[in-house]
Amino acid sequence: MKYLKMKGLLVLSLFAFACESTENQAEVQQSNAYKLVASDTKLQWTAFKTMEKVAVSGTFDDVKILDAQISEDPLQVLKGAKFSISTETTNSANPDRDDKIMRLFFGNLKFSNQITGVVESFDALEQTVTVRLVLNNKEQTVIGNYQWLEPTLSLQFNLDLSIFEALPALAKLNEACHSLHQGADGSSKLWQEVEIFVQTTLLK
């Protein structure tokens, strides 16, 4: 009887040890994995006016990211992630400018209150990131650059609004701000290229 009890205790001990080892291994693996800190995600846009290409910057204050992964490879965390940007939260620290951007530019686009997309891939060799972006109900592939300096992942894109058929809306905005977009030569211009800079945090 004592032998049976001893044998039973030994089996239970081995089972407990196996479970503990599996849990510890899972904890170690989990501790080496990165995850997105969504609340740390910031997006800045920079547009350009006048022939001298004077920069005007702002942000979108509401950026949502869905389906981010947990991975030991930080570049896999955002692969396949979907995102949405509320255009109604554009913020250039100038309420009058923001109102015109929302009414005259985004207001003249289809599905004007939102920009959406998905992160398709990262190329570690070329240091590039590929995104499928939907603006003005037009889906286009956009390739940008990334920089990974742990724990910060930065993405930068140069968007040509013409590929989204957004130039008529851009012209409406330029018309309303004609004098504000005049340079030294007296001509008024709002450039069709916009720079996008995204920064977020990945933590183990």
Q: ∠173-178-179 over CA atoms, to 5°?
A: 140
pLDDT for residue 4: 45
pLDDT for residue 144: 98
Q: Rounded CA gap, 88 and 99, in Å? A: 9
Domain 36-203 fold is Lipocalin (2.40.128)
Closest CA to 67 of 108, 30, 36: 36
| Ordered DSSP codes for 103-119 | IIIGGGSTTTTEEEEEE
For 164, the token pair is: 């989204």
pLDDT for residue 19: 52
For 24, the token pair is: 């510890």
- The answer to whether 6 and 14 are in contact (CB under 8 A) is no
Burial class (CB in 10 A: 0-12, 13-18, 19+), 129: buried
Mean pLDDT by 10 residues, the chain (204 residues): 46 48 47 93 97 96 96 96 97 96 97 96 97 98 98 98 98 92 89 98 96
pLDDT for residue 182: 86
pLDDT for residue 120: 98
pLDDT for residue 2: 45
0.85 exceeded by pTM? no
- The answer to whether 42 and 59 are in contact (CB under 8 A) is yes
